[in-house]
Structure 1
Amino acid sequence: MTPDCKTRRPADANHPDGNALRTALDLAAVGVPVLPLREGKVPFGNCRACAGGACGGRPNMKNAGPCRCPAPCHAWAAATTDPQVITSPAWAPAWGEAVCVGYHPGGAGLTVVDLDNASAVAWARQTLPPTRTVPTTRGQHWIYRGAMTSHNAVRPGVDVKSLMAYARWLGPGSGTMTDLPPVVRALTVKEETTPARREVVSSLPTRATWDRTVATGCRHTERYVRTGLERGLAKVRARIESGAGSQAFGVARFLAAQHVNCPGPCGLEAIGAEIVAAAVSVGVPEAYARRAVANGLETASERAA
């Protein structure tokens, strides 16, 4: 029943007997909201009508919107238990390209502690109460009964996925699932809450900036890198209420991944410094911002190895 996410395409995934679609229907039948994941283990992109938030977003997202798009747009927010949606013509093309099944843990009343490496697994065994565990490519998923907010990089190699997030379905796992413990909720206490603009959260020196002088071994043009970086910085600065630290982690991971095939150096330290500065500008404590960005850069490098 477990799809192999390293396979480019399951056999005849458009048909109910296809691996990914069959797994999705089995999960939906027991109340687990599902969605197809494409190559790279990520959701399918939005359709033209939903691109750039033009549709307003789905009603079950943080900022409720009017979108009623029948396609699997909006990542985790598209996850469903409705078999008619899952097998609909609008979802068929996605299943035709799907490499595995994703699910919305929070929608199923679950929390996944995603341990991305052996060190993180060792930490969990010493710190967290035992529960259902699922092996992953690099580590393990520890699954608890109960939902909470999702946070990336709560510590090195550890993400918490529950509400407003998706996880890969990698099989039922082993062990007895236990209730979400306070120690897991406490992991997110360090997640930033953006203070009022008048509060001073750090005293960063004049920020470093990325340019060709620090990236003599980068295979990309300066315009390409600066465009991607400015878009990422804009996303971080837009998080004026909360979530800027998590956004900084995601931006750092994404941008670093663009350089894994460069001979180097690519000036990732300067890129990271600009992301940190953007996060601090909207109230993220400097130490947290530096840690989130460092984890993002490191995660991209590890996954490319």
Structure 2
Amino acid sequence: MTHSTPTRRDRSQPQPTQPLAVALALASRGVPVLPLRVGKAPFNNCPACAKNACGGRPNMKQAGPCTCPHPCHAWAAATTNPDVLTSTAWATAWRQAAAVAYHPAGVRLTVVDLDHADAITWAHAHLPPTRTVPTTRGQHWIYVGTMPTAHGVRPGVDIKSRMAYARWLGPGTGRMAPLPDAVRALAVRQEANPLRAGLASSPSTRAAWDRSVATGCRHTDSYVRTGLENGLALISAHTESGAGSQTFQVARFTAAQHGQCPGPCGLNALGEEMVAAAVAVGVPEPYARRAVTNGMGLAPRSEA
């Protein structure tokens, strides 16, 4: 009886560990990936990159000169390049890896991380259904679209998109829905408290809206001013909570009204009025400005 000769394994090449095999499969589909160590955290920076001494990677918030071949800088190291993933510089990390992470915004996704049963119950009541992935304690709800990452937006709820990583736990089930305004609003929501010294500051400058800054607006002065006053009244009514979220909604609605104008429409001046109204009911100025910026950035509009 003839026996086939077993194929000899080429021991000169490193054999993929399970996390690396998963990472290579994801990378082949265009998903930027990186290894996670025990504890679901990225690997520490190498000595040359410790404390960001190298300046960081070019795709980080503060662009830097880092050309380090190691998987440093957490989410910013995520890559789809198989040569990098299988490189000697990454080999030790993969041998020690406990899981694989991916950069959601790198594939135009946002992950709503629901950490426990109460958070899941809240999501079912307030967010549109989308693809879900079971986690150790809760679920990931995945939407199509990107936004700023924000942690602790509600008890047990984090948002992971730009400048973040999420653990890969499988493809999940269900059809992915477009990123809804309800999730975007969570990132700018700041529960307002009665104004106290040191809690909020007044905007240093307020540019009043008038026709001189809105030479390309197709609306009448009365239309713009009435809409602004109505919006400011809605913000001012939230004296106990929710003023940040309301500011976001007012900014979004205002931007949409000017979407067909040739511009400029003086939206910056309108936004300053919204910021001032939010600050007046206790929203810290940075949160108020972020609410206006994100709200006005949702709808196509003319330059302010």
TM-score (norm 2): 0.59
**Unpaired stretches in structure 1, ≥5 consecutive residues:** 1-13, 193-198, 204-282, 289-305
2:296: which partner in 1?
A: none
Q: Which residue of 1 aligns with 2:66?
A: 67
Cα deviation for residue 284 of structure 1 reads 8.5
SS at match of 2:184: helix
Q: CA deviation at 1:126?
A: 0.7
Query: In percent, how many aligned pairs have the same letter?
Result: 67
Q: Which residue of 2 aligns with 1:253?
A: none
1:85-136 per-position Cα deviation (integer Å, ceiling 9, x unaligned): 0111000000000001011101111000000000000000111001100000
Partner of 2:222: none
Partner of 1:123: 122
The verdict on how the C-alpha distance between 1:64 and 1:120 changes in structure 2, with shifts beyond 3 A counting, is same
2:199 alignment partner, one of 175, 198, 201: 201
For residues 285 and 116 of structure 1, the distance between their equivalents in structure 2, rounded to whole angstroms, comes to: 27
| Alignment correspondent of 2:22 | 23
For 2:24 and 2:168, locate their aligned partners in 1 and report how far apart those are by CA, in whole Å. 12
What is the root-mean-square deviation of aligned Cα atoms in Å? 2.3
Residues 17, 95 of structure 2: 8 Å contact kept: no
1:188 correspondence with 2:180: no
Shift of 1:17: 3.9
1:53 counterpart residue number: 52
Structure possessing the higher radius of gyration over alpha carbons:
2
Distance in 1 (CA, whole Å) between partners of 2:105 and 2:79 is 12
- What secondary structure is seen at the aligned counterpart in 2 of 1:90? helix
Residues 15 and 21 in structure 1, CA contact (< 8 A), matched pair in contact too: no
| Pair 1:90-2:76 in alignment | no
**In structure 1, how many angstroms separate the alpha carbons of the residues matched to 2:186 and 2:62?**
25
Q: Work out the CA distance in 1 between the residues paired with 2:190 and 2:24.
A: 35
User: Quick one: which amino acid aligns to residue 97 of structure 2?
Assistant: A
**Hey, what does 1:42 align to over in structure 2?**
41
Equivalent-residue separation in structure 2 for 1:202 and 1:17 (angstroms)? 53
Check the 8 A contact 2:110/2:145 in 1, yes or no: yes
4+ long deviations beyond 6 Å:
none
The offset of 1:200, in angstroms, is 3.4
Structure 2 vs 1, CA of residues 191 and 35 (structure 1 numbering), >3 Å: closer, same or farther? Answer: farther
Gaps of 5+ in 2: 1-12, 192-196, 202-281, 288-304
Match of residue 204 from structure 2: none
Shift of residue 78, structure 1, vs aligned partner: 0.2
**SS of match in other structure, 2:110:** strand
CA distance in 1: counterparts of 2:18 and 2:84, whole angstroms: 17
The two structures have a TM-score, normalised by structure 1, of: 0.59
What is the alpha-carbon distance in structure 2 between the residues aligned to residue 18 and residue 175 of structure 1?
29
Q: Using the TM superposition, give the Cα deviation of residue 54 of structure 1 relative to its aligned residue in structure 2, in angstroms.
A: 0.6
